[in-house]
Amino acid sequence: MKTDELIEKLKTLGFKEYESRVFLVLLKGKLMSASDISKESKVIRNSIYDILKSFVEKGYCNEIETNTILQYRIIDPVAILNKLERDYHANYNKKVTLLKDTFSELNTIYSIDKSDDLDKPEINVELIRGFNKQRVSKYIDLYKNAKHEVLGMYRLKGLVAEEFDKVAAKFIRKGGVIKSIYQASLDFKVLTDGKMGPATGTDLIRVLSKFQKSGEQIRLSKVKIPNVTIFDREIVFINLTDKRIPVQKHADIIIKNPDYAEHMADLFTFYWDKGLTVDEYEKTE
């Protein structure tokens, strides 16, 4: 790799321009004086001493005193890597702690004044557009507030999330019923040996078997189904997907209407009765 490219990589890691040049010269492993390092790195003498002092303090190189001059030699780069990694983790943990402490204080300030809502009609239709995490957050909130039953029709693509799994498991432990119909499609990716790749029929069965073991009741549909979830037969969450438009412009609709929810539950029952169990689907593969 060219020197300029290495310098840019080191700058990305937090080194300054002159520090990067000195570091690359020291990496040759020779015992060198400050004037030799200055000459080879093309860093002026006024700066070289400050950089070398900093490197010695950080433990990147050793300072060796001779009868005439000070000389410098870099330590094993693996040891430097380990030190930098520890420093990055410590800095990250410090920032996360600060972030949590700050927002803990901010939460004491946050409040919602509902007095203005008393004279307003109840909102029974909500459209959510844009940033995907906001839409997922809304969906998880509906799950957390469900009391008895969740009926869902899904396409696996983009569905699996660790936080959602935990919420669903907690709902089942509290006595809630989850019945889900999944479209028998392989339009999702799985992580295998650290690499993302296309799913196979075996992957689909494995994922759904895991859901089933946690208490979820499952059917598979070989025909296309809408992405719809019905909460307690009172609220319907509809995920609208359209491959013709960018993902960031997709939208979801939340409908709070018991009559409509019952109609959608009837549609769910229609697909449920025609669906296959995981074992039945596995036999067809």
160-172: average pLDDT: 73
User: What pLDDT is attached to residue 127?
Assistant: 82
Is the pLDDT assigned to residue 68 strictly greater than 90?
no
* Sequence letter at residue 181: I
User: What pLDDT is attached to residue 200?
Assistant: 67
Is the pLDDT assigned to residue 172 strictly greater than 70?
yes
HEC letters along the chain = CCHHHHHHHHHHCCCCHHHHHHHHHHCCCCCEEHHHHHHHHCCCHHHHHHHHHHHHHHCCEEEEECCCCEEEEECCHHHHHHHHHHHHHHHHHHHHHHHHHHHHHHHHHCCCCHHHHCCCCCCCEEEEECCHHHHHHHHHHHHHHCCCEEEEEECCCCCCCHHHHHHHHHHHHCCCEEEEEEECCCCCEEEECCEEEECCHHHHHHHHHHHHHCCCEEEEECCCCCCEEEECCCEEEEEECCCCCCHHHCEEEEEECHHHHHHHHHHHHHHHHHCECHHHHHHHC
For the chain, what is the mean pLDDT? 84
pLDDT per residue as tens digits for the range 176-223? 999 999 988 766 555 555 555 666 667 778 878 888 888 999 999 988
Is the pLDDT assigned to residue 9 strictly greater than 50?
yes
The C-alpha atoms of residue 167 and residue 163 are separated, in whole angstroms, by 6
The C-alpha atoms of residue 191 and residue 193 are separated, in whole angstroms, by 7
User: What pLDDT is attached to residue 133?
Assistant: 58
Is the pLDDT assigned to residue 253 strictly greater than 80?
yes
pLDDT per residue as tens digits for the range 120-131? 556 688 887 765
Query: How far is CA 19 from each of CA 41, 43, 226, rounded to the nearest angstrom?
Result: 10, 9, 58
What domains are defined for the chain? 3-77 (1.10.10.10), 115-284 (3.30.870.10)
The model carries a pTM of: 0.54
Question: What are the tokens at 264?
Answer: 């959608």
Between residues 155 and 62, the one the model is more confident about: 62
Q: Most confidently modeled of 123-127, 163-167, 265-269? A: 265-269
Strand partners, 235: 231, 256
Q: Are 235 and 147 within 8 A, CB to CB?
A: no
The C-alpha atoms of residue 104 and residue 100 are separated, in whole angstroms, by 6
Of the listed ranges 19-33, 96-110, 206-220, 234-248, the one predicted with least confidence: 234-248
Specify the residue for token string 């997709």.
Answer: 250
- As a whole-number percent, the residues of the chain with pLDDT over 70 amount to 81
User: What pLDDT is attached to residue 274?
Assistant: 92
279-284: average pLDDT: 83
Question: What are the tokens at 258?
Answer: 């018991």
User: What pLDDT is attached to residue 159?
Assistant: 44
Provide the pLDDT confidence category of residue 134 given band limits of 50, 70 and 90: low
Is the pLDDT assigned to residue 245 strictly greater than 90?
no
Is the pLDDT assigned to residue 251 strictly greater than 60?
yes
